[in-house]
Structure 1
Amino acid sequence: MTAGAISRRGAAGAALILACAPGMVLAASPAKALQVEVWKDPECGCCKDWVAHLEANGFKVKVNDTGNNAVRVRLGIDKKHGSCHTAIVGGYALEGHVPAREVKRLLSERPAAVGLAVPGMPVGSPGMDGAVYGGRKDSFDVLLLAKDGTSKIYQRYEGKKS
């Protein structure tokens, strides 16, 4: 073999490694993104239940019991999308009782967005699904919040009558 052939093979190998590297980085990203930081009222039980839902679905959660209004404003989430807690995960904002399934989907798809919101506190959403509600599940939407202030339905959850 000539030195040129080795260089071409070496270059081809390096190109292959570089071509695979983004996939390797993406594969590692969800593990890093599993860290969620939450701001909530210290007395809110449904927020604690939502945190437990995230933890049960593989997320590591840091909780700040300082309220969430200032964080919501800082992240650019409109009041109309507000709820009782706000979180950050993987560079995205989460407002309200967003199901872990949609958080994982968001982190996988990585859309250009502020994040996700479940406005209000719909009964049957994660954290609002305890025994006190008697199995009631109201319909609710998970909204994708765009950087221009608009939103669209990211996922619809149909309720059920108990």
Structure 2
Amino acid sequence: MTPATENSPNGDSTPIQAIVYRSPTCGCCGNYFSYLKKSGFEVETEWAQDNEERRTRFGIPNDLASCHTTVVGDYVIEGHVPVEAIRKLLEEKPALRGIAMPGMPSGSPGMPGAKRGEFVIYAINKEGAEDVFMKI
């Protein structure tokens, strides 16, 4: 099984569907798209020119903003979130809107450079409040 099927929302080996909302001019968004595909996700792209409108529509607080938004099932994933965090989200099924890793951290999936310290992934609850979801 690939990392994206072992925790399928259906409980079987079907690939997890992901939609990445990204700008056509952003290279790191394309790299993240490829990272998800290589991790076994079935990925589609939706071109989004207006990042602020997209974040508002999905209920992502401005301080957790990044350059792209991914939708997996009923969850929103903001930014260059590692697959480990997405798998944890899908396995635990918390009552959240989604998770986010703000900015464009060096060494994160889809970003060049070396990783510097821990990646902090934040939970976004249904009201838009945030808390630490996990650190990698």
Residue 92 in 1 paired to residue 46 in 2? Answer: no
Where does the alignment leave 5 or more consecutive residues of structure 2 unmatched? 1-8
Identity %: 38
2:97 maps to: 114
Distance 1:65 1:146, change over 3 A: same
Match of 1:142 among 121, 124, 127: 121
1:46 maps to: 28
Q: How far apart in 2 are the matches of 1:156 and 1:112?
A: 19
Residue 126 in 1 paired to residue 114 in 2? Answer: no
Rg comparison, structure with higher value: 1
3-state SS of 2:77 partner? strand
Q: Which runs of 4+ in 1 moved over 6 A?
A: none
Match of 2:11 among 22, 27, 31: 27
Where does the alignment leave 5 or more consecutive residues of structure 1 unmatched? 1-24, 158-162
Q: Output the amino acid matched with 1:27.
A: G
Q: TM-score, with normalisation over the residues of structure 1?
A: 0.72
Residue 57 in 1 paired to residue 57 in 2? Answer: no
2:59 maps to: 76
> Larger % of strand: which?
2
Query: CA-atom RMSD, angstroms?
Result: 1.7
Q: Output the amino acid matched with 1:90.
A: G
Larger RCO (CA under 8 A, 6+ residues apart): 2
